[in-house]
Chain A
Amino acid sequence: DGGITQSPKYLFRKEGQNVTLSCEQNLNHDAMYWYRQDPGQGLRLIYYSQIVNDFQKGDIAEGYSVSREKKESFPLTVTSAQKNPTAFYLCASSRPGSLYNEQFFGPGTRLTVL
């Protein structure tokens, strides 16, 4: 999975809890992304970050928060405000500003709300 690690692989959350998903990359990529995958819906963009200390909302940011304090790390927090958080979460990175910027994906974290 190309130098991107995500942990944990499986995560269980109780109603009302916040949980944080880890994403680390050693590809020296500036841009990082978080996607949510649900069956039959493809991938939807939650947040993205072009550089350290900067990030932007994607298409479905409500109920999620991120930080980008280091180039290598882009953790995602799923808050209690996210009404339906059970999903597969994928982190990705790429070189920004290039026409050829395919994204490299981590192995994913499967979050289940109990």
Chain B
Amino acid sequence: AQSVAQPEDQVNVAEGNPLTVKCTYSVSGNPYLFWYVQYPNRGLQFLLKYITGDNLVKGSYGFEAEFNKSQTSFHLKKPSALVSDSALYFCAVRDNIGSGFQKLVFGTGTRLLVSP
């Protein structure tokens, strides 16, 4: 089965500094990877995805993610953090479950706290 791991429960960064939220994956076949963000008591919002092609994927709100096949990683990055980026971030991988249908398998989430 496909899986992703988010090794950090929380990441702390000062506003204006670069941020990285880590994700590693374990898949059979080609990985299809996603990042979502969740603000308190809200649903998840899609940030970006990697399907194929360039290893650097650009997404919403200035976020980007770097796909690294040799390290089986898909880390989320932003050059300059904002206080408003503070939220819960989820990495996810697509998993085939038969009949041409796919589901997403989510990591446990990483809380990002950006201090002023």
Interface set of A (CB-CB < 8 Å, partner B): 1, 4, 6, 31, 33, 40-43, 45, 48, 50, 58, 88, 90, 92, 96-97, 99-108, 110
> Nearest A residue to B30 by beta-carbon distance?
A99
A contact residues around B104 at 8 Å (CB): 103
A21 to chain B, nearest CB (A): 13
A contact residues around B36 at 8 Å (CB): 105
B contact residues around A106 at 8 Å (CB): 43
> Nearest B residue to A98 by beta-carbon distance?
B102
B contact residues around A40 at 8 Å (CB): 9, 108-109
B contact residues around A43 at 8 Å (CB): 44, 90, 106
Known: A97-B100, A100-B49, A102-B49. A1 touches B106 (CB 8 A): no
A-B contact pairs, 7 of them (CB 8 A): A1-B43, A100-B49, A101-B94, A102-B49, A104-B46, A105-B45, A110-B41
Q: Quick check: B101 and A107 within 8 Å, CB to CB?
A: no
Given contacts A42-B108, A50-B101, 14 further A-B contacts (CB under 8 A): A4-B43, A41-B108, A42-B90, A42-B107, A48-B101, A88-B41, A96-B100, A97-B101, A100-B49, A102-B34, A103-B46, A105-B43, A107-B42, A108-B41
**A6, A31, A97, A99 interface centre (most CB from chain B within 10 Å):** A99
B69 adjacent to chain A (CB < 8 Å): no
Q: Quick check: B42 and A108 within 8 Å, CB to CB?
A: yes
Q: Quick check: A99 and B32 within 8 Å, CB to CB?
A: yes
Known: A40-B9, A97-B101, A100-B49. A108 touches B43 (CB 8 A): yes
* Alpha-carbon distance between A106 and B9 when the two chains are bound, in angstroms: 24
B contact residues around A107 at 8 Å (CB): 41-43
B contact residues around A88 at 8 Å (CB): 41
* Alpha-carbon distance between A72 and B18 when the two chains are bound, in angstroms: 41
In the complex, chain B residues 1-51 whose Cβ is within 8 Å of any chain A Cβ: 9, 32, 34, 36, 41-46, 49, 51
